[in-house]
Amino acid sequence: MPARIENVLESYNWNVDERFDNKTLDYDKEKHNWTEYFFEAVRELKPELPDLTQIHNYFKPTEFINLRKHLELFTNSKEFSTRLDSFFADYVRDLVDDPDYLIQSTSGIRFVVPNQDELGRLLAFHTGYWTGYNNHMGTVWIPLTKTYGTNTMQVVSWDESIEIMNKIHNEQLPLDEIQRLSIEKSYPVEIDIGQAWLFNQGHVHGNINNETDITRVSFDARYALPGHDLGPRRAGSFYRLQGHYSKIDTTDLATGPWVVFVDQNSSYIGETPHFIIREFLLGKARQLNLNVVEWSNEYWGCTWMPKLQDFVERDNISGLIVPSIHAFSGTKEKIKDLFEQSLKSGQQILFADENILLKDEQELEVIFEILNLEKNNT
* DSSP-assigned beta bridge partners for residue 351: 322, 356
- Please report the pLDDT score of residue 15 as a whole number: 77
Give the Cα separation of 345 and 195 in Å (integer): 52
pLDDT tens, position by position, 158-174: 999 999 999 999 999 99
For the cut 90, the answer to whether the pLDDT of residue 180 exceeds it is: yes
Mean local confidence (pLDDT), 223-249: 87
Angle at 31 between CA 25 and CA 37, to 5 degrees: 95
Sheet holding 205-206, edge to edge: 187-188, 154-155, 205-206
Residue % of the chain over a pLDDT of 90: 80
Asked which of 42-46, 131-135, 374-378 is least confident by mean pLDDT, the reply is 374-378
* DSSP-assigned beta bridge partners for residue 239: 104, 235
Mean local confidence (pLDDT), 210-225: 96
Spatial contact of 189 and 154, defined as CB atoms under 8 Å apart: yes
For the cut 60, the answer to whether the pLDDT of residue 5 exceeds it is: no
Mean local confidence (pLDDT), 260-276: 91
- Please report the pLDDT score of residue 247 as a whole number: 77
Instruction: Give, as one character, the DSSP assignment of residue 299.
Output: P
pLDDT band at 137, cuts 50/70/90?
Answer: very high
- Please report the pLDDT score of residue 1 as a whole number: 37
Q: What is the pTM of this model?
A: 0.90
For the cut 90, the answer to whether the pLDDT of residue 134 exceeds it is: no
Mean local confidence (pLDDT), 175-183: 96
Spatial contact of 176 and 117, defined as CB atoms under 8 Å apart: no
pLDDT band at 85, cuts 50/70/90?
Answer: very high
For the cut 50, the answer to whether the pLDDT of residue 359 exceeds it is: yes
Instruction: Give, as one character, the DSSP assignment of residue 117.
Output: G
Mean local confidence (pLDDT), 244-263: 90
Ordered by start, the domain boundaries in the chain are 3-240, 250-371
Spatial contact of 264 and 297, defined as CB atoms under 8 Å apart: yes
**Which of 64-81 are b and which e, b meaning 16 or more Cβ less than 10 Å from the residue's Cβ?**
beebeeebeebbbeeebb
CATH superfamily, domain 250-371, is Resolvase, N-terminal catalytic domain (3.40.50.1390)
- Please report the pLDDT score of residue 70 as a whole number: 96
Does the domain at 3-240 match CATH 3.40.50.720? Answer given as no
Residue % of the chain over a pLDDT of 70: 97
